[in-house]
Structure 1
């Protein structure tokens, strides 16, 4: 089968705690609800791509435990190819704390994600020139190897440098799309990114290093794009109620990838991705909140 997208990345089993606030140092604080579900940036992005109708091949590693089995079953439910997901050790785990306004913070246990190696990457993955989507929750050596091999074989590459880490300049120059949030943009530029103006400056700086399409996401402030043909701020999309922003960035990237594959303009892709991610934050969780193409409803832009 010819795949539209190959996602090479992380699979984590998420434990979500809904609570009014974070505890202070040394304090025991009571949470309101506990939820457990499949996650991981790689798996999340793969699921959103699949929910929007793309044929998706996922490459990664899960543990030889019950969490690993559930992670695989979740992908298979969405008809995602899992033959290239190996099993080793214990699964990666994400501990996510969701606050009352829908914001969150998380801690990731790497687990089996860091058992993935360059020996698990076959050039057959790239033979039909799919869009290659990657994040930074797997070993840096694997990310670098994939980018070099996939670029050399004519694939377009989308890198979500999350969580943020150093990326070699020669590797960055092979990336077609670099997507980061404000925290990751600040890490990569060494300058504060707190608003639209500073996001534009960060995008310009990253563009000068890469000449790739740079996208800096800003949550409720929207996103900034810098590419050879476009320099623009795209507003966020208003929602009746923000319940949980977990996975919103992954939903955005999955939707962006969908429109890139479908040959839409960058402006059209950005507008669509904003609508899809806005839909996702109206429910708890990551993958379980991601909409299908039929579920995406028109929303009004926030000025």
Structure 2
């Protein structure tokens, strides 16, 4: 019998092709990449992988294609310990083409593929396991109508809804008001607020503006600057850890998975942000997607305790 799932991730599964190169080509130019790295990706699959690698019982709900890329994605999640019983197969697997630059920054192009073939019926068939989880993680790489449907169907459930509004989309006030934790980066925060985010100070202002639209918490990630967190009661800043950035692919997903892990373990909001920031800094110091995400044993190897803290 499968143990009760702590986290349900509903979202995208992409097979990623990462091209490491000195710069992006100019218009009309053919530029040579230095290396190719390929493997599992997609915001949904990445967040599920990080949750599972930290020991959380995690289910993935989504769709892959009827091809070798889909098989590889399912196999990767299974290897991390993710329950893939609700990952369907249809059409062509979603793909991510990522250009990784020397400073670790990246430019990404997505092929939606099977990610846009998930239906309301798929959600209905997995609703029991979704509603029974402590946390539901959502992103914006599946149809917006499905996101709204999930929010509607779980509104009365005793679970926390986490929405990573990436890529940024317009969200109805009704749907946004049901979100417990909203996670956005600078670009996504600017899209949602019509305000520039170019400093820690402006991030605080925007986070406090956005938190009025959700149930409780807004997390605004600032890359190398760190993270700003706002709730109805407080707002604080956590600086980023100083590391040599190699590849930022999946760093935001790694942060979210680690943050949810910390909340389930009983950490304070501040401590959860600190640890999630550390986890994402480990991720950016390595090359690749979910295979670069740290495990719980690695964190313990850094002499970090995962004992729940006093709230």
Partner Cα distance (2:271, 2:232) in 1: 16
Q: Deviations over 1:254-296 (max 9, x none)?
A: 0001011222211111001001001111111110100001212
Contact 1:176–1:213 (CA<8 Å) still a contact in 2?
A: yes
Partner Cα distance (2:209, 2:131) in 1: 33
Partner Cα distance (1:230, 1:256) in 2: 18
Matches within 5 A, 1:170-189: 170-189=174-193
Partner Cα distance (2:171, 2:91) in 1: 27
Partner Cα distance (1:205, 1:127) in 2: 29
Matches within 5 A, 1:78-97: 78-97=80-99
Deviation at 1:197, TM superposition (A): 1.3
Are 2:166 and 1:157 aligned?
Answer: no
Deviation at 1:222, TM superposition (A): 0.2
TM-align CA RMSD? 1.2
Q: Deviations over 1:115-137 (max 9, x none)?
A: 00111013212343420001000
**Which of 114, 129, 137 is matched with 1:125 structurally?**
129
Match of residue 194 from structure 1: 198
Partner Cα distance (2:133, 2:248) in 1: 32
SS in 1 for 2:220: strand
Match of residue 283 from structure 1: 286
Partner Cα distance (1:250, 1:298) in 2: 23
Contact 2:66–2:91 (CA<8 Å) still a contact in 1?
A: yes
Partner Cα distance (1:167, 1:238) in 2: 34
SS in 2 for 1:279: helix
Contact 2:8–2:133 (CA<8 Å) still a contact in 1?
A: no
Contact 2:134–2:158 (CA<8 Å) still a contact in 1?
A: no
The normalised TM-score by structure 1 is: 0.96
Contact 2:9–2:59 (CA<8 Å) still a contact in 1?
A: yes
SS in 1 for 2:285: coil
SS in 2 for 1:121: helix
**Which of 216, 235, 241 is matched with 1:237 structurally?**
241
**Which of 249, 258, 281 is matched with 1:246 structurally?**
249
Partner Cα distance (1:281, 1:209) in 2: 31
SS in 2 for 1:152: coil
Q: Deviations over 1:93-151 (max 9, x none)?
A: 00000001111010011000000011101321234342000100001111111112222
Match of residue 60 from structure 1: 62
Partner Cα distance (1:259, 1:119) in 2: 32
Match of residue 205 from structure 1: 209
Partner Cα distance (1:47, 1:230) in 2: 30
Partner Cα distance (2:36, 2:19) in 1: 5
Q: Which runs of 5+ in 2 are unaligned?
A: 305-311
Aligned residues: 298
Deviation at 1:212, TM superposition (A): 2.4
Q: Between 54-63 and 148-157, report the one with greater CA deviation.
A: 148-157
The normalised TM-score by structure 2 is: 0.93
Q: Which runs of 5+ in 1 are unaligned?
A: none
